Amino acid sequence: MAIYQIVKKGDSILRENARVVKEITPNIIKLLDNMQDTMYAANGVGLAAPQIGISKRVIIVDTGDELLELINPEVLMSEGEQTDTEGCLSVPGLVGDVTRAYKVKVRALNRAGNEIEITGEEITARALQHEIDHLDGVLFIDKAENIKTVE
Ligand code: ZN
C-alpha cells in the first residue's frame, strides 16, 4: 500500500479517456489499495485512477457510509437534480457550484470481478458523477458556476 502524489490540473492525463479494465489482475487490486490510501491521506471523498497517473477506468468513493470500489463504472440511470459546491483534489484552491443528478444508478465490477449495481443519492451521487467524469477527461471546473478561490 502506498500514498501517491495527486496529479494536478494541467497534466494531460486528466484530459484523457481512461482505458477500460479488461481483467482484474493483482495490479488492479494494488491500484485499488493505493487509491484508498491516497484518498484517505488527502481527506478526499472520491478518487479516480487518472488522479494518481493511471489512465484506467477505476474509481473509489467514500462519503462516510462505506467505501465503494468501482471498476469500469457506467451510469445506468440518473434522476432529479441538485446543485452544490464542489472541489477536487486535482484542482486545489478552487471550488464552484455544480448541478448534477440527485440520484444515480451505476453498474461496475468490484475487486472480485463481480458485476455490481449501486444506487447513490445526494453527496454519494455527486461523488460518483464527479469521479466518473474524471474517466472521460472532464473536470468539475468545466461544469461549475461561481468558481471561487479558497485557502
Ligand atoms: Zn476530482
In angstroms, what is the span from residue 134 Cα to ligand 1's centroid? 7
Positive or negative CA dihedral for 13, 56, 143, 149?
Answer: negative
pLDDT in tens, the chain (151 residues): 789 999 999 999 999 999 999 999 999 999 999 999 999 999 999 999 999 999 999 999 999 989 999 999 999 999 999 999 999 999 999 999 999 999 999 999 999 999 999 999 999 999 999 999 999 999 999 999 999 999 7
Where exactly are the structural domains of the chain? 12-149
pLDDT at position 69: 98
Q: Is residue 70 within a helix (H) or strand (E), and if so which, with residue range?
A: strand 68-79
In angstroms, what is the span from residue 87 Cα to ligand 1's centroid? 7
pLDDT at position 151: 77
Q: Which three cell numbers stand for residue 129?
A: 458523477
- Active-site option among 16, 115, 131, 145: 131
In angstroms, what is the span from residue 47 Cα to ligand 1's centroid? 7
In angstroms, what is the span from residue 139 Cα to ligand 1's centroid? 7
In angstroms, what is the span from residue 128 Cα to ligand 1's centroid? 10
In angstroms, what is the span from residue 2 Cα to ligand 1's centroid? 19
**What is d(CA 91, CA 85) in angstroms, rounded to the nearest whole number?**
14
pTM for the model stands at: 0.97
Q: What is the CATH number of domain 12-149?
A: 3.90.45.10
**What is d(CA 116, CA 7) in angstroms, rounded to the nearest whole number?**
28
CB half-sphere exposure, 6, CA atoms < 13 A:
20
**What is d(CA 93, CA 142) in angstroms, rounded to the nearest whole number?**
15
The answer to whether 23 is a known catalytic residue is no
**What is d(CA 131, CA 63) in angstroms, rounded to the nearest whole number?**
12
Nearest-Å Rg of the Cα atoms of the chain is 14
